């Protein structure tokens, strides 16, 4: 039972990343604003919080890949995930390139 609970808990960073608002999508803003405001987190919609939240969630996701990597599939998935997470951060916040960001997310 506890193993299933831990596996479910490790999916939360991925769900969190998928729920982060996309600045270019005007249809998503009302949905995210309503969802976050309903639980008292409306201040997270601000663009100044987007980089730290994205980085934190990506660190949690990559940390989940590193957790017992030697016993599962080795360090390959961890290294690939770390490279993809770095690609997401660089392409979204430094280059501001949607095609590069979506490539990193899809990898």
- Domain assignment present for residue 68? The answer is yes
Q: What is the pLDDT of residue 82?
A: 92
Residue 107 in any domain: the answer is yes
Is residue 79 in a domain? yes
What value does the CA radius of gyration of the chain take, rounded to a whole number of Å? 15
In a domain? residue 101: yes
Q: Between these two residues, 22 and 51, which has the higher pLDDT value?
A: 51
For residue 79, the enclosing domain spans 46-107
Specify if 9 maps to a domain: no
Banded model confidence at residue 92, pLDDT cuts 50, 70, 90 = confident
Domain count, the chain: 1
Q: How far apart are CA 7 and CA 40, in angstroms?
A: 27
pLDDT given at position 26: 61
């Amino acid at each position: 039972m506890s193993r299933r609970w831990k596996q479910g808990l490790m999916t939360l960073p991925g769900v969190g990343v998928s729920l982060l608002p996309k600045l270019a999508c005007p249809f998503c803003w009302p949905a995210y604003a309503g969802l976050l405001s309903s639980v008292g987190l409306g201040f997270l919609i601000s663009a100044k919080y987007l980089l730290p939240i994205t980085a934190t969630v990506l660190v949690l996701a990559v940390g989940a890949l590193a957790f017992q990597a030697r016993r599962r599939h080795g360090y390959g998935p961890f290294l690939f995930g770390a490279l993809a997470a770095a690609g997401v951060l660089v392409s979204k916040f430094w280059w501001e390139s949607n095609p590069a960001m979506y490539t990193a997310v899809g990898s």
